[in-house]
Structure 1
Amino acid sequence: MMRLHLISTGSIHPLDEIKTFQSLQPYTDQLHLREPDLSAAELLDLIEALLGHGYSPDQLTVHDRVDVAHVAGIGVQLTRRSLRVRDVRRHFPDLVIGKSVHSLAEALAAEAEGADRLLYGHIYPTASKPDVPPRGIDALKQVVTFTTKPVIAIGGITPECMPEIAATGATGIAVLSGILGQSDPLAAIRRYQGVRV
């Protein structure tokens, strides 16, 4: 069964929405905290609140902040603006490291440097990147085929897309606005769960 990665939008304050995140926990394999406007201390407070509301450390990933991930005992997701995977791996050998990639070359490099999983996209057109062409299913299949790490697809993914993504061998999907951007996030995440393959 494909794994569901939920990514916070950065446009809400998760501490204000803790009840929403609590309701989504049973349906969420991985919650990514992508909150660049929060300080390190605020992120740690948020993580501790989530841990107190049903999430386990294995369910949580913080974007970019290696320091917070290390202190909280959760995973980190690295992007183009983050520290290099190899440097994080050298200093934090036990840290779970995800890497956001946008090409097969980037995926292979991240794997070689020690990334534990790859977030690849965007697969379909998305409002967050209107001027960037989507990578598409064929490119996703290529990344899955030529890497050995779990590949999570991201970008414009609706519940109806999930069978097509599953057919590539991708490990899971990552969703932002398709869940947290909806008026009823719980109903939205249940729609994704209803077609998990």
Structure 2
Amino acid sequence: MRADVKLIRECLKLYLVMGSTNCKINALEVVEQAIAGGITLLQLREKGPNALGGKARDAFARQVQQRCRQHGIPLIVNDDIEWAAALQADGVHIGQDDAPLPEVRKLLGDRIIGVSVHNLEEAQQAMDQGADYLGIGPIYATSTKLDAQAVQGTKLIHTLRAQGITIPIVGIGGITAERAGAVMDAGADGVAVVSAITMAGDVTLAASNLLQQVTREEDVS
């Protein structure tokens, strides 16, 4: 059994990726303010210099999870399948160098599995193996992920949609409120952001502005 496609599309609209090191203020305050601003999914990415480890990481994750559950927002974990299983997270997001998707599916069952892809071949393989959604990027230049691939704009999203491929897609990489509309126009179901929310002077307002751009066509219709 797989996660519901309609639910996935809704969850991808405003997708926050964050860890304790990505924030100007207390990370839990960022989570609360981002939720107030309308985020629809949170990916916990606790890695890099000064990231939490061991019991501190687990405690932080549980606090984030508690806040997400209070508001019905799925929490997924970046890369670490065992940690996602231990937390009973709602899913995991994996890259091309992580565990093979079939192995992840065996461990996590019907929970959400997203896969980062950078070309048509990777996208097709992820779909064939049962990914619930594709993360495509970096759409624009980003300083958040130091090992990011080359910027590719919205071309791959356009290509997949032009071929009639309907799998849920989220665009990621350098996306701001000013750029979100172009990503949605290309055929994405939502945008994934880090610093556009976590480093904002007003986190709630930043999230709200992004969500407005993502849902603007729905509002018109």
Question: Structure 1's 164 and 62: CA in aligned 2 closer, same or farther, altered over 3 A?
Answer: same
Runs of 4+ deviating beyond 6 Å: none
Structure-2 residue corresponding to 1:93: 109
State the Cα distance separating 1:183 from its structure 2 match. 2.8
SS at match of 2:136: strand
Structure 1, 81-90 or 181-190: larger mean CA deviation: 181-190
2:64 to 50, 54, 69: 50
Aligned amino acid, residue 143 of structure 1: L
Tell me if structure 1 keeps the 8 A contact 2:94–2:115: yes
Equivalent pair of 1:9/1:180 in contact (CA under 8 Å)? no
TM-score (norm 1): 0.85
CA distance in 1, matches of 2:187, 2:166: 11
Change beyond 3 A, Cα 1:131–1:167: closer
RMSD over aligned Cα atoms: 2.7
Q: Distance in 2 between matches of 1:10 and 1:184?
A: 17
With normalisation by structure 2, the TM-score equals: 0.77
Q: Aligned residue for 2:130?
A: 114
Q: Which residue of 1 aligns with 2:7?
A: none
Q: Is the 8 A contact 1:6 1:174 kept in 2?
A: yes
Match of 1:124 among 137, 140, 156: 140
Using the TM superposition, name which of 144-153 and 125-134 deviates more: 125-134
- Asked if the contact 1:64/1:82 (under 8 Å) is kept, the reply is yes
2:48 equivalent to 1:34: no
Of residues 62-71 and 123-132 in structure 1, the stretch that sits farther from structure 2 once superposed is 123-132
Q: CA deviation at 1:45?
A: 2.0
Q: Where do 5+ consecutive residues of structure 1 fail to align?
A: none
Quickly say closer, same or farther: Cα 1:195–1:63, change in 2 above 3 A: same
Structure 2 alignment gaps of length 5 or more: 1-9, 216-221
Partner of 1:135: 152
Give the partner amino acid of 1:73: Q
Q: How does 1:60-99 map to 2 (within 5 A)?
A: 60-74=75-89, 75-99=91-115
* Structure 1 residue 133: Cα displacement: 3.6
